[in-house]
């Protein structure tokens, strides 16, 4: 079983890498872009759609707000990208928003950013995969009943790829990302060129009317403002993942900061171009999209609900000549693939951030460990489990998941940019070079603008999405914040408790060492444990058994004397046939009489090769061991005896007759009787 598991592990993640090979995993810019920027690049596939979905709640009359809202999103993305370029240069260690907030605003603010980002990374995986599945269903509607299953399979595949290492996942994901970028730009260019020639593409939904939600007809004043703000907050999904590059600076090749800043600029320009192009083409093609689409059927005019194609799917069909064209299927395949791969941004950001938090003792230390392929495997697996659970709970529905999205990222945006303003203020107090001061002042203006704008967006997102499900993301971030503070308190208190103040006093030897070997019957494991305990030369050694069955105890005493075992046997009476309590009481009574003595308890145990064999052996020893570990001044030692099944499980190949199994003692003959215990 163990060997099969090892083979499967190697097939999935490949051979283990030495720590010295870490430098070979660093990324060039061409691979860093699809790894760290696939989320904001792919968000153009649904950001425009989310704007249109909200505006159509009031009817067709409100779609004229689309270009203005898209312009506001573009302006915001420009400010955020410029702001994070400053972060990359100022904090190249890879902490990103968390490090900026912690350094300049304090640990509590840093934890708010960290909790928000961790939640947002989980949502990135869930939303990206669900959106990718949506695009697959747009091309192949017959798969609609397998939505959740497909989503979970894609999460498993992404997890396996990322466990193979950052560089390997980048090489696998680079081509789909660049194909998506190229496909969308060709689609937009072709569609707008046709528009200029007077042959504008027309979406399949252009001829459909839209019935406004009850209460949303003729919106004016505050209601209209709220509708527009809600559409803007939904369109801000285009900004998710922008900060991932600032968290992943250590993964870049040297010069790390410069390469990361260049990659961020390329990402920003590309994402803005694609978003503007898709939005403009959607307006030109008159795309109408609603949450609940229905069409009239039959003579009675009944309303039949149906799954509407995504905005990208409608645009591809209108530009390339229908749903059976090569261009349509290419765009759908590239979009579905890149949306699923967009989750890779979170697969790189989440483990890196979790590793830094673990290093700072806010998360379990295991999250800081690198796996066989030098990736943070525990963080990758944790992200996969939580994201998979969300997809299952929300049935992989994008509309339901999107309300939990983007709240965390704007929290981190706001606090990190505020922290950067403090950073530049501190730098300006000591800087005397006029050229450098001017550069710092420009950077401060950029970050201050980013802080104000993202704070306003955060308020808008909270106001428009809180009751629709965003409260759950807020609650998750709060729980995570409290949990991380609790973990840090535990690690700090443990470190303080274990700290050495006077080495000499801590190394004072005990007055005596009293050894106890637990015995149930006389067999090879018992004799090995007795021999091992004698090798320590304790001040006192006793074999201990509990008289659960009086006849068996008498037989054991008789056999003990017959074998002439040179260790006294003590039999504890147990009228209620309870082993653990009797042993514990005996050990504690010795501690009460001699508190400066150390008691060493030796427990013979079987090592078996099959899981079901564990159910048949060692249960009493396991329970007793767990209880003894809580007793001060008691050292517990397991003395293993490997049964034949353990050797087979460790090495499945047949063993030669007469060969010695691993772990079995080799018998050598001396001048003494071979059966005498020495």
Say how far apart CA 494 and CA 187 lie, in whole Å.
60
End-to-end CA distance of the chain: 37
State the CATH architecture for 510-650.
3-Layer(aba) Sandwich (3.40)
Residue 543 contacts residue 530 (beta carbons within 8 Å): yes
- C-alpha distances (whole Å) from 450 to each of 85, 413, 443 are 12, 8, 11
The CA dihedral of 185, 334, 141, 401, to the nearest 10 degrees, is -90
Say how far apart CA 415 and CA 98 lie, in whole Å.
9
Residue ranges of domains in the chain: 25-492, 510-650
pTM greater than 0.75 (yes/no):
no
Say how far apart CA 463 and CA 170 lie, in whole Å.
38
- 530-581 pLDDT, tens digit per residue, is 999 999 899 999 999 988 888 888 899 999 999 999 999 999 987 777 888 8
| Whole-number pLDDT of residue 384 | 92
Of 300-314, 477-491, 640-654, the range with the highest mean pLDDT is: 477-491
Average pLDDT (309-328) is 86
Number of neighbours of residue 575 by Cβ within 10 angstroms: 8
- 240-280 pLDDT, tens digit per residue, is 777 778 777 877 888 888 888 898 899 899 999 999 999 99
Say how far apart CA 424 and CA 415 lie, in whole Å.
14
Say how far apart CA 133 and CA 347 lie, in whole Å.
18
pLDDT surpasses 50 at 588: yes
Phi first, then psi: give them for residue 306, nearest 5 degrees: -150, 160
Phi first, then psi: give them for residue 288, nearest 5 degrees: -120, 120
Say how far apart CA 303 and CA 496 lie, in whole Å.
69
- 329-370 pLDDT, tens digit per residue, is 888 888 878 877 777 778 877 888 888 899 889 999 888 877
For domain 25-492, give the CATH superfamily.
Amino acid/polyamine transporter I (1.20.1740.10)
**Average pLDDT across the chain, whole number:** 80
Cis previous bond, 244, omega within 30: no
Could you tell me which residues are beta bridge partners of residue 569? Answer: 543
Strands (E), 366-482: none
The radius of gyration of the chain from alpha carbons, rounded to an integer in Å, stands at 33
Q: Name 450's Cβ contacts closer than 8 Å, sequence gap at least 6.
A: 79, 80, 82, 83, 413, 417, 420
Instruction: Please list the alpha-helical segments (H only) found in 466-578.
Output: 470-498, 503-506, 524-535, 550-563
- Pairing between β-strand 634-642 and β-strand 293-297 as defined by DSSP bridges: unpaired
């Amino acid at each position: 079983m163990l060997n099969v598991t090892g083979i499967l592990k190697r097939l999935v993640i490949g051979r283990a890498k030495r720590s010295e090979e870490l430098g070979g995993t660093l990324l060039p810019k061409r691979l860093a872009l699809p790894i760290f920027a696939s989320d904001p690049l792919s968000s153009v596939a649904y950001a425009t759609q989310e704007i249109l979905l909200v505006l159509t709640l009031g009817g067709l009359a409100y779609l004229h707000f689309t270009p203005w809202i898209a312009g506001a999103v573009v302006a915001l993305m420009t400010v955020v990208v410029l702001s994070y370029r400053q972060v990359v240069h100022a904090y190249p260690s890879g902490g990103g928003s968390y490090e900026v907030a912690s350094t300049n605003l304090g640990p509590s603010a840093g934890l708010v950013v960290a909790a928000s980002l961790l939640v947002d990374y989980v949502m990135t995986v869930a939303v990206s995969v669900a959106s990718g599945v949506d695009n697959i269903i747009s091309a192949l509607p017959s798969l609609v009943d397998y939505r959740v299953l497909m989503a979970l399979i894609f999460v498993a595949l992404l997890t396996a790829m990322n466990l193979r290492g950052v560089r390997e996942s980048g090489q696998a994901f680079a081509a789909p990302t660049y194909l998506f970028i190229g496909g969308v730009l060709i689609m937009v260019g072709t569609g707008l060129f046709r528009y200029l020639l007077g042959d504008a593409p027309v979406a399949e939904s252009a001829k459909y009317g839209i019935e406004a939600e009850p209460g949303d007809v003729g919106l004016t004043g505050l209601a209209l403002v709220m509708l527009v703000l809600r559409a803007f907050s939904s369109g801000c999904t285009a900004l998710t993942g922008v900060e991932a590059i600032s968290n992943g600076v250590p993964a870049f090749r040297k010069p790390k900061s410069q390469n990361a800043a260049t990659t961020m600029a390329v990402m920003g320009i590309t994402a803005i171009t694609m978003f503007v192009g898709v939005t403009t083409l959607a307006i030109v093609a008159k795309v109408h999209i609603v949450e609940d689409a229905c069409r009239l059927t039959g003579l009675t005019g009944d309303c039949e609900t149906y799954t509407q194609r995504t905005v990208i799917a409608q645009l591809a069909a209108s530009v390339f000549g229908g749903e059976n064209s090569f261009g349509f299927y290419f765009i759908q395949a590239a979009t579905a693939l890149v949306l699923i791969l967009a989750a890779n941004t979170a697969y790189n950001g989440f483990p890196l951030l979790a590793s830094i938090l673990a290093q700072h003792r806010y998360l379990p230390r295991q999250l800081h460990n690198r796996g066989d392929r030098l990736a943070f495997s525990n963080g990758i697996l944790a992200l996969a489990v939580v994201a998979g659970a969300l997809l299952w709970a929300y049935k992989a529905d994008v509309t339901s998941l999107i309300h939990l999205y983007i709240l965390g990222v704007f929290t981190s945006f706001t606090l990190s940019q505020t922290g950067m303003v403090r950073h530049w203020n501190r730098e300006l107090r000591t800087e005397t070079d006029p050229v450098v001061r001017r550069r710092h002042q420009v950077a401060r203006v950029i970050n201050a603008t980013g802080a104000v704008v993202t704070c306003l967006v955060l308020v808008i997102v909270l106001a428009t999405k809180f009751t629709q499900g965003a409260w759950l993301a807020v609650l998750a971030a709060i729980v995570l914040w409290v949990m991380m503070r609790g973990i840090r308190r535990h690690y700090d208190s443990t470190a303080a408790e274990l700290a050495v103040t006077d080495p000499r006093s801590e190394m004072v030897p005990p007055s005596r060492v009293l050894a106890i070997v637990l015995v149930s019957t006389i067999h090879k494991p018992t004799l090995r444990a007795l021999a091992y305990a004698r090798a320590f030369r304790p001040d006192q050694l006793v074999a201990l058994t509990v008289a659960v069955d009086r006849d068996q105890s008498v037989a054991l005493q008789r056999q003990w004397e017959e074998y002439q075992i040179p260790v006294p046997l003590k039999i504890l009476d147990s009228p209620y046939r309870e082993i653990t309590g009797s042993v514990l009481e005996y050990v504690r009574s010795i501690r009460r009489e001699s508190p400066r003595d150390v008691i060493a308890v030796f427990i013979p145990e079987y090592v078996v090769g099959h899981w079901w064999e564990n159910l048949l052996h060692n249960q009493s020893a396991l329970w007793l061991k767990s209880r003894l570990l809580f007793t001060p001044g008691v050292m517990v030692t397991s003395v293993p005896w490997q049964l034949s099944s353990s050797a087979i499980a460790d090495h499945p190949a047949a063993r030669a007759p007469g060969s010695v199994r691993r772990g079995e003692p080799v018998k050598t003959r001396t001048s003494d009787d071979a059966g005498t215990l020495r």
